[in-house]
Structure 1
Amino acid sequence: MIASLIIGIIFLVAGLGLRYWINRRKFYRRGPMGAEGFSSYESSVIIKLLEKFGKWVAYALIIFGLLSLWVYSREKKEMEKQKVAVESIR
């Protein structure tokens, strides 16, 4: 039960951190006119591809983290229901 909470928090923070890091790099690559600056065409293509892949990974981490937190909340509610049922039998 606690494992899903810890995993959920770790994956959620990792996903949000990855998104922040990618967007920060993209922001600081921009020049005064708003255009992104790359040293070559090849580096532009590779960096944009890696960033797009990284954003999808970040989305997957965020979704997995949220699902783990949801599972934790469901498990907690189920444990409380069982506890109330046991107390009502006594």
Structure 2
Amino acid sequence: MNRDNAVLIIFGVLALIIGIALKLFIGRRVFYRRNSSGAEGFKNYRNALLTPFWESILAFMGGLLIILGVLALAFAKWIL
């Protein structure tokens, strides 16, 4: 195994783990924020604006990490 392949495999696995963890963390927060009628409850207006904004950015980054992890693992397999 080449050193470049090992770096790609490590990066791919870490990116997949971090990406999946981010997506699960955001999904869990959204799930537990909903009340019995299905609406999200926030403490104030500022939180109602900022929380979904930051969560959408983190979810996008998680999805991007998952894609990059899969591509890195596929590229490491292709080099082997």
Q: Do they fold alike, i.e. is TM over 0.5?
A: yes
Number of residue pairs aligned between Structure 1 and Structure 2: 76
**Which structure 1 segments of 5+ residues have no match?**
77-90
C-alpha distance after superposition, 1:12-66 (max 9, x if no partner): 1100110000000000001111111001111011001001111111111111101
1:17 to 14, 21, 33: 21
1:38 to 42, 46, 50: 42
Give the letter for the 1:60 counterpart.
L
Percent identity at matched positions? 33
Q: Which has the higher contact order (CA 8 A, sep 6+)?
A: 2
**Which structure 2 segments of 5+ residues have no match?**
none
For normalisation by structure 2, the TM-score amounts to 0.91
For normalisation by structure 1, the TM-score amounts to 0.81
Q: Which has the larger radius of gyration?
A: 1
Runs of 4+ aligned structure 1 residues displaced above 4 Å come to none
2:65 to 57, 61, 67: 61
Q: What's the Cα RMSD here?
A: 0.7
